Chains A and B, each alone.
Chain A
Amino acid sequence: MEQLGYFLMAFTSIKMIFLVCVGTFAGIYIGAIPGLSVTMAVSVLISFTFSWDVNEALCLMAGVYCGGVYGGSRSAVLLNIPGAPAAVATGFDGYPLAKLGEAGIAIGLATTASVIGGYLGIIALATAAPVISDYSLMFASRDYFMLAVMGLLLVGSLSGESLAKGIFAGALGIFLSMIGMDTFTGMGRFTFGSVGLMSGIHFVAIMIGLFGVSEALVQIHDLHIAPIKQNVKNIIPSWRLLFKHFPLIIKSALIGIGIGALPGAGGDIAALMAYGSARRSIKKPTRPFGQGAYEGVIAPETANNACIGGDNIPMLTLGIPGDAVTAVIIGALYIHGLKPGPMLMIDTPHLFWFWVGALTLANTFLLPLGLSGIRIFAKLVEIRKGLLLPIIIVISVVGTYGINNSITDVYWMMGFGAFGYILKMYGYQMGPVILGVILGPIMEDNYRRAMQDVQHSIPLFFWKFFSSPLTLALIIVTVVMIGSQAGWWDKIKKSLFKTKSVQSEKS
C-alpha cells in the first residue's frame, strides 16, 4: 500500500503532472529534431535542475526521457532521418509509408505501439526490479566488476562499426573517470601537479561536450540539406489494425525489455532486433518489409519504448546503466545525492516507486501528445540548422557552467566537444565513452575490493570467478554475447542494410 502511495505521488501534484507533461512534450520535439538527442537533453537538464527538489527534477527527466525515445520516430517517418539512434529501424518502413501517402498511419501506429511497449516495459520494471534488488545483495564485488565489464563490452561492440573502436572508446571513458584524487588512497592520478585537476573533470562537462557541442559540429556538415514537407492525415490508427498486430506488439515488447535489461544494450539495439525478428517471423506482412510494412513500424517502436523499462532494471537495482541515456540519468541521481544500486531500493524505496510512477505518467502523456501537434512539428523541423546549432551551443555553455559555477568546466566541455567531433568523424561512438565515465569508478572500486578479498592472489582471484555460480553465469553470458554477435549481429545488420539498399535502388 505504501508503495502504491509513492507510485501515485507524481499523479497527485499538479506541479509534478505539469512538469512530466512539459518534459514529455519537450522530449518528443527534442527527439524528433535531428541533431538534438535525448542524451544531450538529459545531460543539460542535470545541471539545470541541480537546485530543484529531486522529485520535481525526476518528473522533468522522466518526461524528456520517454518523449525523446519516442520522438525520434517522427523524423524517421517523415524525413527518413532518425531523430535518435533508437528510431533507425523505424525509418526502414516508416519512410516508405510516408512516401505512399500514409505518414499519418505510420505516426499513429508508431505512437500507439510506443505507448503499449512503454507500459509493458514499466510493468516489467515494477515486477522485476524488487526481485533483482533482493538478489543483488548477494552480488560480490567481483560480480559488480563483471557486470560493468559486460556493460562496457556490449555497448562497445554493438554500438559502432568496429569492436576495437568501441573498446577503445569505453577505455577512454574509464581513463577520464580516473583523473583526479584516488578515493582509496587520496593520491592524485593523471593530475600532473594541478590542484584544479584533483577533483577530476566533472562528468556532466564531458557528457555535454560529447553529446552537445560535438553533435553540433557534426551537423554543420549537413547545413544545406533542405527540410522535406509531408502531408499528414488520418493519424489515429483503427482498433482493428492494432488488434491484428497485438501478438507482434507483445513479442517486440518482450525483445525490448530483454535487450534493455542487459547492461550496455539500449533502445537502438532492441529496435533493430525486434525489426529483424519481425522480418523473419512474419510470413505475410501488409507490404513487403522495406516497402512500407506496418509491422516494420510497430516492431521497432514497441521495442525501443519497452526498452526504457528494461534499461531501468540494471540501472536502479545494480547501478549499472543500460545505455548512454541511463548512464546520464545515473549521473543525475548521483548529483541529487542518491546512489543507484542495491541499496537504492532499501534506503529509498519511495524514490524507486516515484520514478516508476513518473515514467507511467510520461508514457500516458505520450499518447495525446504523440497523436497531435503534427503542424507544430512540421514548423519545427523547418527551423534552419543555422539557427538551431548556435542555440544548442549557448544552452550547453549555460548547462555546463551551472554545475559548479565554473568557467573551467565550460572550457573542458568545449575541448571534449572538439575531441568528440574528431572521434565521431572517424567512427568512434560516444555512448561507450560516457558509459566508461560512469562505469569506471564502479569497475575500479569493485575490482580493488575483490583483489583485497583474495589478498592480491591472482590464482585465487580467478578461482573465485569460476567457483561462484553467479560470477560464472555472468562470464558465460558476456562471452556468449560477444562471441556470438559476430554471427547473429552481422546477419541482422546485413539483412537490414540489404533491405535499405534495395529500397533506395528502387526509389
Chain B
Amino acid sequence: MEGNTERKPGERILTWFLLALSLFVLVNAWRMPHETLSSSGAFPLFIGSVMILSVLRVLWKEWKVFASWKWGDERSLIQPFVLPKEVIAYIVVLVLFMLLTSSLGFWISSYLFLVGSFLLLKGARPVKALIIGVVMLAIIWLLFQYIFRIILW
C-alpha cells in the first residue's frame, strides 16, 4: 500500500507547496481561540497537524526518489507531464471564458467558448463547430428554461 509506484516529474514541487499550505492552515488555526479542547480553533489545529504529518510522510517516503533525480533532468520533464501544450492552451481558454462571462453574459461567452474549444481540441471543423455551438446552447436553453428552471445571467 505504501510502496511508491512511479516517478512523477514535479511531484517534489507540489509536495513542498502542500506542506506550505498545511503550515499556513496550522498557523491560521493557531491564531483562533484554542483555550479549551472544544474552542473554535481546536479542531482546525488538529486538522492542520494531520495535513502537515501526512505531507511529511509523503516527503519521507519519496525522499529517495526525489534525491535520485537531478533537478536539471526533472525540470525539463515537468511541463510535458503536467502541463502539455494542449492543457496550457485550454487553461488559457478557460480563463478567457471566465473573464468574458461577467462582461458579455452567459450566452455569448459560452458560445465563443464552445466554438473556440471545439476548434482547439479538434472536436469539429469550423462550420460544424459554429452549428454545434448553436445547437448545444439551444438545448441548454430549453433544458434550463423549461425543465430545470434555472435562470442564467
A residues contacting B by CB (< 8 A) are 47-52, 157, 161-165, 167-168, 171-172, 174-175, 178, 182, 184-185, 187, 189-190, 213, 217, 220-221, 223, 384-391, 393-395, 397-398, 401-402, 405, 407, 410-411, 414, 418, 421-423, 425-427, 443-444, 447-449, 451-452, 456, 458, 461, 485-486, 489-490
Contacts and interface: CB of A to CB of B under 8 A. Distances in A.
Interface string B2-16: 101100101100100
Contact of B151 (A184, A394, A405): A405
Given A163-B2, A394-B136, A189 B44 contact: yes
Nearest to B116: A390
B101 A407 contact: yes
Contacts of B84: 220-221
Contacts of B23: none
Contacts of A213: 94
A162 B121 contact: no
A490 B1 contact: yes
Contact of A168 (B5, B40, B58, B61): B58
Nearest to A391: B136
A385 B153 contact: no
A71 to B, nearest CB: 21
Interface in B84-124: 84, 86-87, 90-91, 94, 97-98, 101-102, 106, 110, 113-114, 117-118, 120-124
B33 A187 contact: yes
Contacts of B4: 161-162
A410 B101 contact: yes
Given A51-B149, A167-B54, A401-B153, A187 B32 contact: yes
A51 B144 CA distance: 11
B102 A407 contact: yes
Contacts of A394: 110, 113-114, 136, 140
Interface string B33-53: 100111111111001101100
B55 interface: yes
Interface of B: 1-2, 4-5, 8, 10-11, 14, 18, 25, 28, 32-33, 36-44, 47-48, 50-51, 54-55, 57-58, 61, 81-82, 84, 86-87, 90-91, 94, 97-98, 101-102, 106, 110, 113-114, 117-118, 120-124, 132, 136, 140, 144, 148-153
Contact of B40 (A49, A189, A405): A189
Chain B interface main SS type = helix
A389 B2 CA distance: 34
A384 B5 CA distance: 31
Contact of A220 (B8, B90, B106): B90
Contacts of A444: 43
Contacts of A220: 84, 86-87, 90, 121
A180 to B, nearest CB: 12
B47 A486 contact: no
A387 B123 contact: yes
Contacts, number: 184
A168 B43 contact: no
B118 A386 contact: yes
A422 B8 CA distance: 12
A178 B47 contact: yes
Given A164-B54, A167-B54, A447-B43, A397 B110 contact: yes
Contacts of A47: 150
A389 B117 contact: yes
Given A168-B55, A178-B44, 10 more contacts: A52-B148, A164-B57, A175-B25, A184-B40, A387-B123, A389-B121, A389-B123, A390-B114, A393-B97, A422-B14
B61 A385 contact: no
A350 B24 CA distance: 46
A489 B1 contact: yes
Contacts of A168: 18, 51, 54-55, 58
A250 to B, nearest CB: 30
B43 A387 contact: no
A486 B1 contact: yes
Nearest to B39: A185
A187 B51 CA distance: 23
Nearest to B136: A391
Given A217-B90, A402-B148, A490-B1, A451 B37 contact: yes
8 contacts: A48-B144, A163-B1, A168-B55, A184-B38, A394-B114, A456-B38, A461-B37, A489-B1
* B42, B94, B113 interface centre (most CB from chain A within 10 Å): B94
Contacts of B81: 425
A425 B8 contact: yes
A407 B153 contact: yes
B122 A426 contact: no
B1 A175 contact: no
A411 B106 CA distance: 14
A391 B138 CA distance: 13
Nearest to B84: A221
Contacts of B54: 164-165, 167-168, 171
A166 to B, nearest CB: 8
Nearest to B46: A447
Contact of A171 (B50, B82, B86, B117): B50
B38 A223 contact: no
Nearest to B151: A405
Contacts of A395: 140
Contact of A157 (B1, B8, B124): B1
A485 B118 CA distance: 45
Nearest to B5: A161
A47 B33 CA distance: 35
A217 B48 CA distance: 29
B31 to A, nearest CB: 10
Contact of B51 (A172, A386, A398): A172
Contacts of A402: 144, 148, 150
